[in-house]
C-alpha cells in the first residue's frame, strides 16, 4: 500500500472528548479511503508533550508523521486537517507539507472545516437543524476560539447567516480576537432570554469548553452570564461529535483528492 492519509489535528489533553471527536473524525476518514493507510499528527507541541507525560501516549508532529510515512513507503499522500479555520495552526501544517512535498510523488491537501462562504452556510444549517428545539425566547450562544490570522472572519459570517435564516437567537462569539464576547452580551441584552444555552463552537470540548465556557471561575462565560441573572445551560459537546460535521471533513478530503 503506497497510498497514505494523514489526519492533522490541533490536539486535546482531554481523553474523553478526544475519543468522541478527533478519533471519530479519523475513523470516518479512514473508512472513506480504505485504499489508504491512515496516520495521525497533532500541531500542538504542548499537548503532545503533556499526553506523553500523563498518559504515555506518543503522538507525531506533522514532520514526524511525514517521516514515518516516507519510511513506510508512502508515495501518494492525502492530508486532511481537522482544524476549523485556515489560521495559524493550519499554516504550520501547510508549511511542513510544502517542505516535504518534493519527497512524495503526489500530495493533496484538504481544506479546514470553515474555509469559504459555502462552508459557513453549511455549518449554519447544521447548527439550525441540530438545535431546532431552542425557541426564540431562549438564546443559543456558541463559543469559538478566534483567530488573528484567518483569511476571513467566519464568526461574523455565521452570525449573518443566522440572521438571514431567521435564527437571530443563535449567536457566536470568541475567546480571543474578534468578535469576542460582545455578540453574546448584546444578544442577551436585546432579547432578554429566559435561558441561555452555551455550546463550544470548537471541534473538541476541551479546556476552553470546560474552563473558559463552563468553568466555575468568575471570568468564565457561564459565570459572567449567571452573574447578570441569566439561567445558563452548558452543552459540553464538541463539533466533532456531530455526524454532519464529520461528513464535511470527508467531503473536503474527497474534493482534495479529486483535484490532483
Q: What is the pLDDT of residues 157-200, one digit of tens each?
A: 999 999 999 999 999 999 998 899 999 999 999 999 999 999 99
Answer yes or no: do 220 and 204 share one domain: yes
Answer yes or no: do 121 and 224 share one domain: yes
Answer yes or no: do 80 and 166 share one domain: no
Asked if the model's pLDDT at residue 151 lies above 80, the reply is no
Is residue 197 part of the annotated active site? The answer reads no
Identify the pLDDT of residue 208.
92
Say what the pTM is: 0.94
Identify the pLDDT of residue 54.
94
Q: For the chain, what is the domain count?
A: 2
Asked if the model's pLDDT at residue 149 lies above 80, the reply is no
Which of these is catalytic: 83, 145, 169, 252?
145
Answer yes or no: do 126 and 192 share one domain: yes
Answer yes or no: do 134 and 228 share one domain: yes
CATH number at residue 185: 3.40.50.1400
Lowest average pLDDT, out of 42-51, 86-95, 166-175, 212-221, goes to: 86-95
How many percent of the chain have pLDDT more than 90?
92
SS3 letters across the chain: CCEEEEEEECCCCCHHHHHHCHHHHHHHHHHHCCCCEEEEEECCHHHHHHHHHHCCCCCCCHHHHHHHHHHCCCCEEEEEECCCCCCHHHHHHHHHHHHHHHHCCEEEECCCCCCCHHHHHHHHHHHHHHCCCCCCCCEEEEEECCCCCCCCCHHHHHHHHHHHCCCCCEEEEECCCCCCCHHHHHHHHHHCCCCEEEEECCCCCCHHHHHHHCCCCCCCHHHHHHCCCCCEEECCCCHHHCHHHHHHHHHHHHHHHHCC
Answer yes or no: do 169 and 200 share one domain: yes
Give the pLDDT confidence of 5-37 residue by residue, as tens digits. 999 999 999 999 999 999 999 999 999 999 999
**Average confidence (pLDDT) over 206-217:** 94
Answer yes or no: do 135 and 50 share one domain: no
Answer yes or no: do 226 and 246 share one domain: no
Answer yes or no: do 159 and 194 share one domain: yes
Answer yes or no: do 153 and 179 share one domain: yes
Boundaries of domain holding 13: 3-112+241-258
Q: How confident is the model at residue 150 (pLDDT cuts 50, 70, 90)?
A: low
Answer yes or no: do 127 and 29 share one domain: no
Answer yes or no: do 233 and 245 share one domain: no
Asked if the model's pLDDT at residue 43 lies above 70, the reply is yes
Q: What is the mean pLDDT of the chain?
A: 95
Q: How confident is the model at residue 128 (pLDDT cuts 50, 70, 90)?
A: very high
Amino acid at each position: 500500500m503506497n497510498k497514505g492519509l494523514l489526519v492533522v489535528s490541533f490536539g486535546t489533553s482531554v481523553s474523553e472528548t478526544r475519543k468522541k471527536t478527533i478519533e471519530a473524525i479519523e475513523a470516518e476518514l479512514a473508512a472513506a479511503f480504505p485504499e489508504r493507510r491512515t496516520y495521525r499528527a497533532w500541531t500542538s507541541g504542548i499537548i503532545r508533550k503533556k499526553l506523553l507525560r500523563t498518559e504515555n501516549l506518543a503522538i507525531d508532529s506533522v514532520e514526524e508523521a511525514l517521516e514515518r510515512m516516507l519510511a513506510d513507503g508512502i508515495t501518494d499522500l492525502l492530508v486532511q486537517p481537522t482544524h476549523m479555520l485556515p489560521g495559524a495552526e493550519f499554516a504550520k501544517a501547510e508549511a511542513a507539507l510544502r517542505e516535504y512535498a518534493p519527497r512524495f510523488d503526489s500530495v493533496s491537501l484538504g481544506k479546514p472545516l470553515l474555509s469559504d462562504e459555502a462552508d459557513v452556510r453549511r455549518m449554519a444549517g447544521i447548527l439550525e437543524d441540530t438545535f431546532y428545539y431552542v425557541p426564540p425566547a431562549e438564546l443559543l450562544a456558541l463559543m469559538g476560539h478566534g483567530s488573528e490570522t484567518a483569511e476571513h472572519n467566519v464568526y461574523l459570517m455565521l452570525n449573518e447567516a443566522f440572521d438571514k435564516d431567521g435564527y437571530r437567537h443563535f449567536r457566536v462569539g470568541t475567546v480571543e480576537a474578534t468578535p469576542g464576547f460582545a455578540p453574546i452580551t448584546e444578544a442577551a441584552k436585546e432579547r432578554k432570554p429566559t435561558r441561555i444555552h452555551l455550546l463550544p463552537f470548537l471541534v473538541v470540548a476541551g479546556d476552553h469548553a470546560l474552563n473558559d465556557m463552563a468553568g466555575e471561575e468568575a471570568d468564565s462565560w457561564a459565570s459572567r452570564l449567571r452573574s447578570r441573572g441569566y439561567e445558563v445551560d452548558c452543552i459540553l459537546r464538541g463539533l466533532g461529535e456531530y455526524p454532519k460535521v464529520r461528513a464535511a471533513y470527508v467531503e473536503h478530503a474527497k474534493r482534495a483528492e479529486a483535484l490532483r
